[in-house]
Structure 1
């Protein structure tokens, strides 16, 4: 039975006004916390673990030397953001301040792989088996342990010659600086679907998308 405390997109953004360390992207609350040292990051990691145990609500935490990447969703709510996630985010923010951690929102980039196809069912099984992924309701494939990038199939009657491209998910409030940097490099940018995504093509025609949560209902 789905959780009853799922937050709407509007409620999520209202909570974010009180959570300056956090961003919303790919249907989750996310933060990147840089500590003074690897040891400090590990101590903060342990403190977050204690908070999670006390709340009986467990985030995904990726420890990378002096930086922690924290992702909050509720598995019993189908991977959506709930009031419990917002509450735990507030507790983690307090601990981060106590440890002197600094938020690094520009590091919050999540990778997805997209494949153009006119027959998703004809190829999805191959990728599911090879990657050991699980199928989701929307037809995409996800790593059950959250380690690898999501793979999804962009169905079209006219697949691009370059069928595989990367989607780089960036919180909307951080995306402008990335797009400005790409523009300064002289690459081609297609804003037709902005702000949900901006299509980027490198000098050899290889494609990627700078994608954000804006315009999506992921709450």
Structure 2
């Protein structure tokens, strides 16, 4: 934080103006009952790393953070969502294997072109290999 303030001070001294409208962060919150939260599955399928116990972050800093939100046991889960992940074929195959090893359930198997997987709460992710002939 101190370094960031120093960099900002130097930038201001040189007349640079920050465009705060050009900066944002997108975080996906995946709600699930506490006994069906699968942070390991989401880390594996996205190729993400832990930052804390309840999230998954892109180690390269390009993708959105994924946060696993515990849903109150008394509250009904009234929504459905899925995430699409497109990547190189060899990476898709590795992610598929890692996600299954982390407890993911195969919903549709169209491998090696694509797979539809779900975590224990039923949240889905479609892994699709780029159609680059590899």
TM bucket normalised to smaller: 0.3 to 0.5
> TM-score, normalized by length of structure 1?
0.31
Higher helix residue share: 1
Q: Which has the higher contact order (CA 8 A, sep 6+)?
A: 2
> TM-score, normalized by length of structure 2?
0.47
